[in-house]
Amino acid sequence: MAVPGAVFKYYLYKATEAVEFYRPIMYLYLLSQGLSFTQIVVIEALYNLATVLGEVPTGYVGDRIGRRNSLLVGSALITATLVGIAFAASFLAFAALFVCWSLGYNFRSGTEDAWVYETLTDVSASDEFTRVRGRGQSVALSAGVGASLVGGYLGGLDLTYPFLVAALFTGVGLLVIATLDEPATYTESGSSEMGIREAWGVVTQAVGQRRLRSFILYYFVLFSAVTYLVFIFLQPVFESVVTGLNMRLTLSLPVPGRERPSGLVVSTDNVETLLGVYYAAINLVSAAITYRIGFIRERVGLRRWFVVIPLLVGGLLTAMPFVPPIALVALFVGWACVEPTRVLAGQYVNDRIETLGRATVLSAMAMVSAVTVIPFQLGSGVISDAVSPLIALSAAGVILVVGSVVILLWESPIEEPPTGSPSRTGPE
């Protein structure tokens, strides 16, 4: 790699994302604070509404103030929010904090991919984006394996502990971000001088491309919305399924002087720890896939991946009410494939947009996803309270399968670029 120092810092930054500390217990924590499923999806909807209203403005600000400064602002907001969540005790407090949380990720959304892509473009290596981005996400997921186990254990002690530890690690990430250099490609693009009208023109030109319109519907609308529901309802669905199966898992280690090994007994009475193990396994598989994402891109191909994965996830989710144990497989596959698919989508979109206003365009894509997921969230929340989260996810699976088939029949959302194609193409 021609830019080993920059790539190493990027990998180090990814290791400090720390989301897996609180992810195994996040919704259990919200439920423990007295929130209903409807209230949870309302604050999630507020999160996404803040994304809708803030993505393009923060992307524009990111283009103006620079990639590094945008990442710094975003990470600082996330750190402060995690501390606030640990001490919040009311629906209104969580609602306000989730809005701040969204703004933090808004500043990082698009900017991270833009920094990686443009840093590689500086040395004419933009075709390495999939590999570098995939390995960066693999680093984050690998770190998340241990974080999931620790977070599940800490959650068993006190559900606030994982949020505080995550805030500490995210704060360390601020120090790493401060050492990053701005890509020369960004500096020379004139993005820091781009006006609001020009930014709007860049966005509309990019999303209006024939090469992107069906992909936006297919990935940013359908797939992203449904897999986000998997994220929201994984914990309550997992808890209900393992309780129904009366699952019991013993993690034992040999102890000298004892005939039988002793260790940690994980059962439905200790669901936080069991969730930590489950998330760790998901992260391990997802990390392995993203580490080899360049191989998948070359051998499997973007078209085959983006056709098979949504139909597979949708089919598994649809089958859950008929065979409840399938839910454990559906949730695992549904969440494990999110990051590899996101990396491949990042390469596909970056190859088809200009450097000028790149962060603004990528943020606009995220905004489209956030707009779509709001009705999915509200509808699934009502269904969850009326019936169950499992039925809500199954209904989302039906929508994913039917919607994917309709789009595939309309036009192919994926145009396989020739090997070695230029990283920038104009609109059609």
Domain at 134, CATH number: 1.20.1250.20
Tokens of 243: 């309780």
Please name the residues in contact with 308: beta carbons below 8 A apart, sequence gap of 6 or more: none
Residue labelled with tokens 């698009």: 110
Give the helix/strand (H/E) hosting 264: strand 262-267
d(CA 336, CA 341): 9
Q: Is residue 299 part of a domain?
A: yes
d(CA 267, CA 273): 9
Instruction: Write down the pLDDT at residue 342.
Output: 87
Q: Are 130 and 291 in contact (CB under 8 A)?
A: no
One-letter amino acid for residue 365 of the chain:
M
Q: Is residue 262 part of a domain?
A: yes
Residue labelled with tokens 């365009």: 361
Q: Is residue 416 part of a domain?
A: no
Instruction: Write down the pLDDT at residue 221.
Output: 84
- The parent domain of residue 115 ranges over 4-410
Q: Is residue 422 part of a domain?
A: no
Instruction: Write down the pLDDT at residue 257.
Output: 47
d(CA 62, CA 71): 8
Q: Is residue 239 part of a domain?
A: yes
Spans in the chain with pLDDT lower than 70: 1-4, 18, 55-56, 62, 110, 186-211, 245-270, 272, 353-364, 366, 370, 416-428
- CA dihedral of residues 381, 386, 392, 395 (deg, nearest 10): -120
Q: Is residue 107 part of a domain?
A: yes
d(CA 137, CA 123): 22
- Closest Cα to residue 306, out of 197, 415, 228? 415
Q: Are 35 and 91 in contact (CB under 8 A)?
A: yes
The pTM for the full model equals 0.66
How many domains does the chain fold into? Answer: 1
Q: Are 140 and 343 in contact (CB under 8 A)?
A: no
Cβ burial 395-425 (10 Å sphere, 16+ → b, else e): bbbebbbebbeebbeeeebbbebeeeeebee
Instruction: Write down the pLDDT at residue 405.
Output: 93
Instruction: Write down the pLDDT at residue 276.
Output: 77
Q: Is residue 424 part of a domain?
A: no
Instruction: Write down the pLDDT at residue 209.
Output: 60
Q: Is residue 415 part of a domain?
A: no
Instruction: Write down the pLDDT at residue 114.
Output: 79
Residue labelled with tokens 């989302």: 396
Give the CA distances from residue 428 to residues 67, 87, 113, 259, 389, in Å, rounded to whole numbers and listed in that order.
28, 51, 24, 72, 43
Instruction: Write down the pLDDT at residue 334.
Output: 92
